[in-house]
């Protein structure tokens, strides 16, 4: 068997391969579903679609999920392009959300609505940025391993949120904060249009364009690419590598903080230790799948959010648990990532005997 | 020779990488008892062709016969089994092992492993061919030439009957090259087949029996070495008539002034080893100052210190804005140096690891040192794009497009992009490290012309080189480094390569103090 790199593949053929991969994935998932559960796979797939698109509300929720996941993915991407593996998205989102919640609780009756939201916005971004800045500083100064450092910062953030959850719990003894400012709606982002989710979705859409432009067309974006490729080249070009690392992680953390702000101020109006919901890690996958291209991340976020919504639906509709949905998600992802190999390479089979015979 | 059975017969070999056709319908015969030189410009497919013999690549189509038998080489192991040994440009040795341990590494023999027996056999091989190897010496203690010797002995130990060497002399001094060639002649006498890839025509003349010329992935012809000339080989390789003399115009008197004055410069590397020891010299406007030395004698540190990339222990580096207006460069980074109005271009040795960004296209690489220009936070790609088109056009860079990542270009084209950018900034000082390393004749001469053109414009050119023939032909003055010390500065018009070669080793090896 011999593997060779392909010439540039026509875009139509590449899309056909990817669609083919999804079809094969669905067949494999179908066989697996039938074998393991005895259910008709077509019914299961229909339920998944219904779970994601079954009602206007479901569609809005799906869009909101896409938006938040995309937001965190966008946050990680500048760091990733610099080959700084920021796995601390979870903690940075939490810290941003905690800052928002703190403002709502402590300043809710002291500031007028717009001013409160402005303060929440600034403190959330700052909190997320600080959480990313700490590992970045250690990396820039002492070249510590950012992967472990950012990962550990997640646990610290979770425990800080847990601490304040108890301190601010309401009602006392419930072990959670509950909806903040239920009566006054102080610090709640205003509803735009038909759904409370629309504002979040619009803000993330704008952010996507901004990050795309930042990475592709600004001097800072250029510096990030050079540092990511080779630190030596960056030094040669007179780029201050330490400064670029710090600055980029401030941006990365701030966008994570912004995601926390959207979650607390825009939809949940409360804070829990699980508010980030693993998106800090799912976003790593989205960012990689898209090759660090913000425009492509929209599709990755859609795929993962859709699969998650579908998994939730089949777990209730067919009395399966959520894990079964995750199995299907895993299989589909495997095929989608795997098919890239066939887009880039061609495989030829040839036996030794054929060669000897001169075939 | 026609009636003799060839050791290797390659027929209609095709190999492409993506849209790049590296080999097209290539034919090659190699006979026992001969040394065959494979000649071609950068990117002409020499290394690709040889890599298909050594099992690193697999041909898309075509056939390979070894001693008349059709074979299928799909891994380096297959290649060994057919008695093919290849010495790559980058050695594949384990640094902390001894020579003997490296040589026996990966050899599967029956019974209990006996290092003493192996050492005996190694010594035997060394005696037969005239190698000079201490089997118990560790690789990290060895010079480049010794490491290469270990690589060759390793192949012979494994029973290689056909030896392929990919630019073996690029890293050797003239004396070491002579030694290598003596060994290769012994192998020929022992009825082995030797294929040598090289750019250096005098070496082709010196060592080979037959020359095969490749151009743009195709076989163009072959000649018996004794019946041809360097000029004929070059013409066939390039496909047109080119001149083989390196020009050396006299420096124009109107520019004569010192531009860079280095005094008592001492530099230590990160491990605290002294790399430059009390180095003093001047670089003048309108001249090419050559810097010669065994690799690792402090050339890299010297250039990087001037460019503001290397911390300095003591001494001074002055840039003379005018005859009596010195600017101290020590303590400044590249951006500050540029801001001071010091126009300094630097072509570093590590092209893709330092001078260029491999994943970016020509356009984006053009702006590497100028991307800060302009008042807005956005990059301006209009001027770099224009510059990229000019460089690609004028220096004949062979690339599918100016957006193609430069990593995918061949070595010569990468270097053209780098030199093109550095010259475009209209420097007053041009520092270049191994500007023609790995470049074919045509590209090399283009680079020499560009350097001479800069010299004619009054630029102080510093040329760190390794080919002594070129150094003594191109440079006005040559500074010879030996173990981080200046062993002398000679007039390029009055010296010869033997004198320079001796000065390179005069202070006794590469040890600094």
Global ipTM: 0.81
Spell out which residues of chain B touch residue A356, defining contact as CB-CB under 8 Å.
70, 72
Spell out which residues of chain A touch residue B58, defining contact as CB-CB under 8 Å.
2, 4
pLDDT at A358: 41
pLDDT at B3: 56
Residue B189 maps to a domain: yes
Angle between helices B144-157 and B174-189 (to 10 degrees): 10
Spell out which residues of chain B touch residue A229, defining contact as CB-CB under 8 Å.
357-360
Distances (CA, A) of B437 to A64, B297, B305, B470: 56, 17, 21, 12
Distance between A243 CA and the closest CA of chain B, angstroms: 14
**A252-294 pLDDT, tens digit each:** 999 999 999 999 999 999 999 999 889 999 999 999 988 899 9
Question: Could you give phi then psi for residue B306, rounded to 5 degrees?
Answer: -65, -35
* Cβ contact, residue pair A236, B309, below 8 Å: yes
The number of domains in chain B is 3
Residue B500 maps to a domain: yes
Q: Is the peptide bond before B463 cis (omega within 30 degrees of 0)?
A: no
Distance between B117 CA and the closest CA of chain A, angstroms: 36
Assign B413 a pLDDT band (cuts: 50, 70, 90): confident
* Cβ contact, residue pair B357, A233, below 8 Å: yes
Buried b (16+ CB within 10 A) or exposed e, B212-247: bbbbebbbeebbebeebeeeebbebbbeeeeeeebe
Question: CB within 8 A of A226, min separation 6: which ones?
Answer: A233, A234, A237, A239, B357, B368
Selecting from B72, B338, B368 the residue whose C-beta is nearest the C-beta of A226 gives B368
Question: Could you give phi then psi for residue B266, rounded to 5 degrees?
Answer: -125, 130
Q: Are residues B160 and B281 in the same domain?
A: no
Which of A4, A221, A238, A355 is the best mutation test for B, with the most CBs of B within 10 A?
Answer: A238
Spell out which residues of chain A touch residue B363, defining contact as CB-CB under 8 Å.
none
Residue B351 maps to a domain: no
| Contact status, residue B164 vs residue B85, Cβ threshold 8 Å | yes
Angle among Cα A68, A190, A276 to the nearest 5 degrees reads 25
Spell out which residues of chain B touch residue A230, defining contact as CB-CB under 8 Å.
352-354, 357-358
Spell out which residues of chain B touch residue A237, defining contact as CB-CB under 8 Å.
334, 368-369, 371
| Strand partners of residue B194 | B35, B163
Element (H, E) at B261: strand B258-268
Q: Once rounded to an integer, what is the mean pLDDT over residues B460-487?
A: 89
Question: CB within 8 A of B428, min separation 6: which ones?
Answer: B259, B285, B342, B343, B344, B458, B459, B460
pLDDT at B1: 46
- Round to whole Å and give the CA distance between B130 and B63: 35
- B360 at the A interface (CB within 8 A)? yes
| Contact status, residue B99 vs residue B136, Cβ threshold 8 Å | yes
Residue B349 maps to a domain: no
A56-317, CATH topology level:
ABC transporter involved in vitamin B12 uptake, BtuC (1.10.3470)
Tell me what percent of the residues of chain B surpass a pLDDT of 70.
96
* Cβ contact, residue pair A355, B60, below 8 Å: no
- Round to whole Å and give the CA distance between A226 and A241: 10
| Contact status, residue A80 vs residue A147, Cβ threshold 8 Å | no
Distance between B368 CA and the closest CA of chain A, angstroms: 6
- B339 at the A interface (CB within 8 A)? no
- B190 at the A interface (CB within 8 A)? no
**B249-280 pLDDT, tens digit each:** 887 776 688 889 999 999 988 778 888 999 99
pLDDT at A13: 85
Domain final residue, candidates B375, B407, B425: B425
Which two three-digit tokens encode residue B316?
A: 């001074």
For chain A, how far is it from start to end, CA to CA, in angstroms? Answer: 15
In chain A, domain spans: 1-39+321-359, 56-317
pLDDT at A350: 60
Write out the residue range of the structural domain in which residue B396 sits. Answer: 356-425
* Cβ contact, residue pair A358, B354, below 8 Å: no
Q: Are residues B147 and B97 in the same domain?
A: yes
Which two three-digit tokens encode residue B320?
A: 């003379």
Spell out which residues of chain B touch residue A225, defining contact as CB-CB under 8 Å.
357, 359-360, 364
Q: What is the largest CA-CA distance in chain A?
A: 88
pLDDT at B509: 38
Spell out which residues of chain B touch residue A217, defining contact as CB-CB under 8 Å.
378-379
* Cβ contact, residue pair B70, A358, below 8 Å: yes
Domain final residue, candidates B375, B403, B425: B425
Distance between B458 CA and the closest CA of chain A, angstroms: 25
User: B144 pLDDT exceeds 90?
Assistant: no
Distances (CA, A) of B224 to B194, B232, B465: 15, 12, 31
Buried b (16+ CB within 10 A) or exposed e, B384-398: bbebbeebbeebebb
User: Strand B162-166 to strand B84-87: parallel, antiparallel, or no bridges (unpaired)?
Assistant: parallel
Which two three-digit tokens encode residue B392?
A: 């690609």
Q: Which residues in A have their CB inside 8 Å of a CB on B?
A: 2, 4-8, 217-223, 225-226, 229-230, 232-233, 235-238, 352, 355-356, 358
Residue B2 maps to a domain: no
3-state secondary structure of A65: helix
Distances (CA, A) of B93 to A183, A330, B81, B229: 74, 42, 20, 37
- B62 at the A interface (CB within 8 A)? no
Spell out which residues of chain B touch residue A218, defining contact as CB-CB under 8 Å.
377-379
* Cβ contact, residue pair A238, B18, below 8 Å: no
* Cβ contact, residue pair B372, A219, below 8 Å: yes
Q: What is the count of residue pairs from A and B with beta carbons less than 8 Å apart?
A: 81
When mean pLDDT is compared across A221-230, B95-104, B345-354, the lowest value belongs to B345-354
| Contact status, residue B10 vs residue B379, Cβ threshold 8 Å | no
Which of B52, B81, B351, B357 is the best mutation test for A, with the most CBs of A within 10 A?
Answer: B357
Residue B169 maps to a domain: yes
Selecting from B18, B352, B372 the residue whose C-beta is nearest the C-beta of A7 gives B18
User: Strand B34-40 to strand B477-482: parallel, antiparallel, or no bridges (unpaired)?
Assistant: unpaired
* Cβ contact, residue pair A2, B58, below 8 Å: yes
Q: Are residues B170 and B136 in the same domain?
A: yes
> Among positive and negative, which fits the CA dihedral A238, A241, A247, A248?
positive
- B75 at the A interface (CB within 8 A)? no
- B19 at the A interface (CB within 8 A)? yes
pLDDT at B203: 86
Q: Are residues B385 and B328 in the same domain?
A: no
Q: Write the DSSP symbol of residue B254.
A: G
- Round to whole Å and give the CA distance between A173 and A150: 33
* Cβ contact, residue pair B378, A218, below 8 Å: yes
Q: Once rounded to an integer, what is the mean pLDDT over residues B285-305?
A: 88
pLDDT at B407: 86
Angle among Cα B133, B134, B136 to the nearest 5 degrees reads 140
In B, minimum Cα distance to A229 occurs at B357
Which of B9, B14, B15, B18 is the best mutation test for A, with the most CBs of A within 10 A?
Answer: B18
- Round to whole Å and give the CA distance between A234 and A245: 12
Which two three-digit tokens encode residue A271?
A: 């804070």
Residue B3 maps to a domain: no
3-state secondary structure of B194: strand
Residue B437 maps to a domain: yes
CATH number at residue B495: 3.40.50.300
Instruction: For residue A144, count CB atoms less than 10 angstroms from its CB and return exposed for 0-12, middle for 13-18, buried for 19 or more.
Output: middle
Distance between A122 CA and the closest CA of chain B, angstroms: 23
Instruction: For residue B511, count CB atoms less than 10 angstroms from its CB and return exposed for 0-12, middle for 13-18, buried for 19 or more.
Output: exposed
Q: Are residues B148 and B189 in the same domain?
A: yes
Which of A4, A9, A231, A236 is the best mutation test for B, with the most CBs of B within 10 A?
Answer: A236
For chain B, how far is it from start to end, CA to CA, in angstroms? Answer: 54
pLDDT at B374: 83
- Round to whole Å and give the CA distance between A304 and A283: 10
Residue spans of chain A under pLDDT 50: 353-359
Domain final residue, candidates B393, B425, B457: B425
Q: CA B290: distance to chain centroid?
A: 16
Q: Are residues B260 and B152 in the same domain?
A: no
Selecting from B333, B367, B379 the residue whose C-beta is nearest the C-beta of A218 gives B379
User: Strand B193-197 to strand B162-166: parallel, antiparallel, or no bridges (unpaired)?
Assistant: parallel
- Round to whole Å and give the CA distance between B418 and B450: 12
The mean of the pLDDT values for chain B is 85
pLDDT at A260: 96
Q: Are residues B133 and B279 in the same domain?
A: no
Which two three-digit tokens encode residue A354?
A: 């054929």
Distance between A75 CA and the closest CA of chain B, angstroms: 20
**How many other CB atoms are found less than 10 A from the CB of residue B191?**
12
Spell out which residues of chain B touch residue A238, defining contact as CB-CB under 8 Å.
333-335, 338, 369
In A, minimum Cα distance to B354 occurs at A233
Question: CB within 8 A of B193, min separation 6: which ones?
Answer: B7, B8, B30, B31, B32, B33, B34, B36, B161, B162, B163
Assign B508 a pLDDT band (cuts: 50, 70, 90): very low
Q: Are residues B411 and B443 in the same domain?
A: no
Q: Where are the beta strands (DSSP E) in B106-208?
A: 162-166, 193-197
Spell out which residues of chain B touch residue A351, defining contact as CB-CB under 8 Å.
none
In B, minimum Cα distance to A226 occurs at B357
Which two three-digit tokens encode residue A239?
A: 């780029």
pLDDT at A351: 55
* Cβ contact, residue pair A229, B371, below 8 Å: no
User: B507 pLDDT exceeds 60?
Assistant: no
Which of A221, A227, A237 is the best mutation test for B, with the most CBs of B within 10 A?
Answer: A237
Question: Could you give phi then psi for residue B218, rounded to 5 degrees?
Answer: -125, 155
| Contact status, residue B74 vs residue B53, Cβ threshold 8 Å | no
User: B512 pLDDT exceeds 70?
Assistant: no
> Among positive and negative, which fits the CA dihedral B365, B370, B374, B376?
positive
- B144 at the A interface (CB within 8 A)? no
User: B423 pLDDT exceeds 90?
Assistant: no
């Amino acid at each position: 068997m011999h593997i060779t790199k392909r010439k540039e593949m026509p875009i139509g053929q590449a899309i056909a391969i990817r669609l083919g991969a999804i079809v094969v994935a669905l067949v494999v998932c179908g066989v697996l579903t039938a074998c393991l559960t005895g259910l008709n796979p077509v019914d299961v797939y229909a339920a998944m679609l219904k779970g994601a698109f079954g009602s206007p509300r479901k569609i809005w929720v799906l869009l909101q999920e896409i938006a938040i996941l995309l937001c965190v993915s966008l946050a990680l991407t500048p760091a990733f392009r610099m080959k700084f593996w920021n796995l601390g998205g979870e903690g940075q989102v939490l810290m941003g959300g905690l800052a928002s919640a703190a403002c709502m609780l402590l300043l809710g009756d002291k500031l007028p609505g717009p001013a409160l939201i402005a303060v929440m916005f600034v403190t959330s971004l700052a909190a997320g940025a600080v959480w990313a800045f700490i590992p970045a500083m250690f990396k820039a100064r002492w070249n510590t391993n950012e992967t472990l450092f950012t990962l550990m910062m997640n646990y610290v953030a979770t425990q800080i949120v847990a601490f304040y959850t108890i301190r601010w719990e309401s009602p006392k003894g419930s072990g959670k904060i509950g909806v903040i400012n239920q009566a006054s709606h102080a610090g709640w982002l205003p509803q735009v249009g038909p759904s409370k989710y629309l504002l979040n979705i619009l803000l993330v859409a704008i952010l996507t364009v901004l990050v795309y432009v930042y990475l592709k067309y600004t001097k800072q974006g250029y510096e990030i690419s050079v540092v990511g490729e080779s630190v030596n080249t960056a030094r040669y070009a007179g780029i201050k590598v330490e400064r670029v690392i710090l600055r980029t992680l401030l941006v990365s953390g701030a966008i994570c903080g912004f995601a926390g702000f959207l979650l607390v101020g825009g939809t949940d109006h409360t804070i829990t230790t699980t508010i980030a919901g693993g998106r800090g890690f799912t976003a790593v996958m989205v960012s990689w799948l898209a090759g660090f291209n913000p425009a492509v991340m929209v599709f990755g976020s859609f795929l993962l959010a859709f699969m998650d919504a579908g998994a939730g639906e089949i777990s209730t509709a067919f009395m399966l648990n959520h894990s079964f949905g995750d199995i299907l998600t895993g299989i589909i992802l495997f095929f989608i990532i795997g098919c890239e190999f066939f887009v880039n390479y061609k495989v030829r089979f040839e036996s030794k005997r054929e060669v000897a015979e001169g075939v | 020779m026609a009636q003799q059975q060839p050791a290797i017969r390659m027929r209609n070999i095709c190999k492409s990488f993506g849209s790049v056709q590296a080999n097209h319908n290539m034919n090659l015969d190699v006979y026992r008892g001969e040394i065959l030189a494979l000649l071609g410009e950068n990117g002409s497919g020499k290394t690709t062709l040889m890599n298909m013999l050594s099992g690193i690549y697999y041909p898309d189509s075509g056939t390979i016969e070894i001693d008349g038998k059709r074979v299928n080489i799909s891994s380096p192991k297959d290649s060994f089994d057919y008695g093919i040994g290849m010495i790559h440009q980058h050695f594949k040795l384990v640094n902390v092992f001894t020579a003997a341990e490296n040589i026996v590494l990966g050899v599967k023999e029956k019974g209990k492993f006996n290092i003493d027996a192996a050492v005996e056999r190694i010594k035997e091989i060394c005696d037969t061919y005239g190698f000079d190897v201490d089997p118990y010496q560790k690789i990290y203690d060895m010079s480049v030439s010794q490491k290469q010797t270990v690589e060759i002995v390793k192949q012979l130990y494994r029973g290689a009957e056909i030896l392929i060497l990919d630019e073996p002399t690029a890293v050797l001094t003239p004396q070491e090259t002579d030694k290598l060639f003596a060994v290769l002649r012994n192998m020929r006498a022992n009825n082995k087949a030797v294929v040598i890839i090289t750019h250096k025509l005098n070496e082709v003349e010196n060592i080979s029996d037959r020359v095969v010329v490749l151009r743009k992935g195709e076989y163009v012809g072959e000649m018996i070495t004794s019946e041809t000339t360097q000029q004929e080989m070059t013409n066939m390789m390039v496909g047109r008539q080119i001149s083989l003399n390196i020009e050396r115009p006299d420096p124009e008197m109107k520019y004569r002034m010192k531009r860079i004055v280095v005094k008592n410069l001492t530099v230590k590397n990160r491990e605290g080893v002294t790399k430059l020891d009390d180095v003093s010299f001047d670089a003048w406007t309108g001249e090419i100052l050559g810097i010669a030395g065994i690799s690792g004698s402090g050339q890299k540190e010297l250039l990087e210190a001037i460019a503001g990339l290397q911390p300095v222990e003591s001494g001074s580096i002055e840039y003379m804005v005018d005859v009596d207006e010195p600017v101290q460069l020590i303590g400044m980074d590249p951006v500050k140096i540029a801001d001071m109005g010091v126009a300094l271009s630097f072509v570093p040795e590590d092209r893709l690891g330092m001078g260029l960004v491999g994943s970016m296209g020509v356009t984006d690489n053009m702006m590497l040192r100028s991307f800060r220009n302009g008042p807005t936070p956005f990059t301006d790609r209009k001027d770099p794009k224009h510059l990229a088109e000019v460089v690609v056009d004028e220096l004949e860079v062979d690339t599918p497009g100016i957006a193609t990542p430069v990593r995918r270009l061949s070595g010569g084209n990468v270097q053209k992009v780098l030199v093109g950018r550095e010259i475009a900034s209209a420097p007053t000082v041009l520092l270049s490290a191994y500007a023609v390393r790995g470049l074919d004749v045509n590209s090399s001469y283009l680079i020499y012309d560009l350097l001479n053109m800069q010299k004619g414009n009054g630029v102080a050119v510093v040329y760190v080189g390794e080919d002594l023939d070129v150094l003594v032909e191109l440079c006005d003055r040559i500074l010879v480094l030996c173990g981080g010390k200046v062993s002398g500065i000679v007039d390029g018009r009055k010296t010869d390569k033997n004198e320079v070669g001796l000065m390179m080793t005069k202070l006794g090896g590469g040890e600094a103090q």
